[in-house]
Structure 1
Amino acid sequence: MTTLADIAKRLESIATAATIASRDLLTLDTNPVPAEWTHITKIDPEEEKQLPLLFPLYLQHTSALEVGGSKDVTGENTQQTLELVADRPAPAFQEPSGPAQVTNATRERAEFLALPEVLNGDAESLVGQLGAGIEHIEEEIAPTMLAEKLPIPLGDELESRLAGAATSWMIDEAIFEAYIIQNPDSAAAREANVDENDLLGPTAAKQRAMAAERHHESEIIYLEYSGTFGDEEAQDILAAIDEGVSWSRVWYGGGLDDRESAQAVVDAGADATVVGNIFHEIAAEEVEICADAAAALGPDADRAAVESWVDETVDIDGTSAASYLSTITSLSNPTSRAREYLIATIEAYLGLTALADELDGTVTDEISLSVALDEREELPGEVELSKVLLDDEQSFPHDLVAGLLAERFDIQADVPPVAHIGVEI
Structure 2
Amino acid sequence: MPSIDDIATTFESATRTLSLAGRTVLPVDTNPVPAAWDHVTKIDPEEDKKLPLLFPLYLQHTGALEVGGSKDVTGQNTEETLELVAGRPRPAIQEPSGVRQVTERTREQADYFAVPQVLNGDTEAIVGTLGSGIEYLREELGPSYLEDKLPIPLGDGLERRIVSLFSAWTLQEAVFEAYIIMNLDSAAAREASVTEDDLLSPRAAKQRAMVAETVLESEIVYLEYSGTFGGEEAEAILEDVSEALSWSRLWYGGGLDSRENVQAVLEAGADAVVVGNVFHEIADEEAELCADAVEELSPDATRSDVEDWVSTAIDVEESSAAEYLSTIPSLSNPTARAREYLVATIEATLAFEELAGALEGEVTTADELQTALDDRELPGEVELDSVLDGGPESFPRELVFGLLVDRLDIDADRLPVEHISVA
TM-score, normalised relative to structure 1? 0.98
1:174 alignment partner in structure 2:
174
The superposition leaves residues 54-111 of structure 1 with CA deviations (integer Å, 9 ceiling, x where unpaired) of 0000000010000001111100000000000001101101000000000000000001
1:282 alignment partner in structure 2:
282
| Pair 244,46 (structure 1): closer, same or farther in 2 beyond 3 Å | same
The superposition leaves residues 27-79 of structure 1 with CA deviations (integer Å, 9 ceiling, x where unpaired) of 42100001111111000000100000000000000100000011111000000
Give unpaired runs (5+ residues) of structure 1. Answer: none
1:402 alignment partner in structure 2:
401
2:383 alignment partner in structure 1:
384
* Alpha-carbon offset, residue 392 of structure 1: 8.1
- Please give the secondary structure, in 1, of the residue aligned with 2:116: strand
| Pair 394,250 (structure 1): closer, same or farther in 2 beyond 3 Å | farther
* Alpha-carbon offset, residue 393 of structure 1: 9.8
Counterparts of 2:267 and 2:363, CA distance in 1: 55
Question: Is 1:222 aligned to 2:235, yes or no?
Answer: no
Written as runs of structure 1 = structure 2, the 5 A alignment for 1:14-413 is 14-376=14-376, 378-390=377-389, 395-413=394-412
TM-score, normalised relative to structure 2? 0.98
- Please give the secondary structure, in 1, of the residue aligned with 2:317: helix
The superposition leaves residues 317-375 of structure 1 with CA deviations (integer Å, 9 ceiling, x where unpaired) of 11000000000011000000000000000000000000000001011111111011014
Question: Is 1:11 aligned to 2:11, yes or no?
Answer: yes
- Please give the secondary structure, in 2, of the residue aligned with 1:209: helix
Aligned partner letter, 1:317: E
- Please give the secondary structure, in 2, of the residue aligned with 1:52: coil
Aligned partner letter, 2:59: L
| Pair 86,383 (structure 1): closer, same or farther in 2 beyond 3 Å | same
Aligned partner letter, 1:149: K
The question of whether the paired residues in 2 share the 8 Å contact of 1:89 and 1:390 is answered with no
The superposition leaves residues 237-292 of structure 1 with CA deviations (integer Å, 9 ceiling, x where unpaired) of 00111000100000000000010001100010000000101000000000111111
Aligned partner letter, 1:291: A
Aligned partner letter, 1:224: E
Aligned partner letter, 1:129: T
| Pair 208,27 (structure 1): closer, same or farther in 2 beyond 3 Å | farther
What is the root-mean-square deviation in Å for CA atoms of aligned residues?
1.1
Aligned partner letter, 2:421: G
- Please give the secondary structure, in 2, of the residue aligned with 1:194: coil
Counterparts of 1:393 and 1:8, CA distance in 2: 52
Written as runs of structure 1 = structure 2, the 5 A alignment for 1:414-425 is 414-424=413-423
* Alpha-carbon offset, residue 13 of structure 1: 1.1
Counterparts of 1:193 and 1:183, CA distance in 2: 12
Once the two structures are aligned, what percentage of the paired residues are identical? 63
| Pair 289,391 (structure 1): closer, same or farther in 2 beyond 3 Å | closer
* Alpha-carbon offset, residue 414 of structure 1: 2.4
When structure 1 is superposed on structure 2, of 294-303 and 239-248 the one drifting more is 294-303
Counterparts of 2:16 and 2:165, CA distance in 1: 20
- Please give the secondary structure, in 2, of the residue aligned with 1:246: coil
The question of whether the paired residues in 2 share the 8 Å contact of 1:50 and 1:421 is answered with yes
Counterparts of 2:305 and 2:68, CA distance in 1: 39
The question of whether the paired residues in 2 share the 8 Å contact of 1:386 and 1:394 is answered with no
Counterparts of 1:323 and 1:23, CA distance in 2: 37
The superposition leaves residues 144-202 of structure 1 with CA deviations (integer Å, 9 ceiling, x where unpaired) of 22122222110112111110111101110001000000001111001111011110111
* Alpha-carbon offset, residue 23 of structure 1: 1.7
| Pair 134,87 (structure 1): closer, same or farther in 2 beyond 3 Å | same
* Alpha-carbon offset, residue 413 of structure 1: 1.8
Aligned partner letter, 1:45: P
- Please give the secondary structure, in 2, of the residue aligned with 1:113: strand
Aligned partner letter, 2:157: E
Aligned partner letter, 1:346: I
- Please give the secondary structure, in 1, of the residue aligned with 2:412: coil
Aligned partner letter, 1:319: S
The superposition leaves residues 184-242 of structure 1 with CA deviations (integer Å, 9 ceiling, x where unpaired) of 11110011110111101111101100000010000000000010100011001001110
Aligned partner letter, 2:407: R
- Please give the secondary structure, in 1, of the residue aligned with 2:112: coil
The question of whether the paired residues in 2 share the 8 Å contact of 1:223 and 1:252 is answered with yes
The question of whether the paired residues in 2 share the 8 Å contact of 1:88 and 1:390 is answered with no
Counterparts of 2:392 and 2:150, CA distance in 1: 31
Counterparts of 2:245 and 2:410, CA distance in 1: 54
Counterparts of 1:154 and 1:394, CA distance in 2: 40
Counterparts of 1:55 and 1:93, CA distance in 2: 17
The question of whether the paired residues in 2 share the 8 Å contact of 1:220 and 1:251 is answered with yes
* Alpha-carbon offset, residue 19 of structure 1: 1.4
- Please give the secondary structure, in 1, of the residue aligned with 2:386: helix
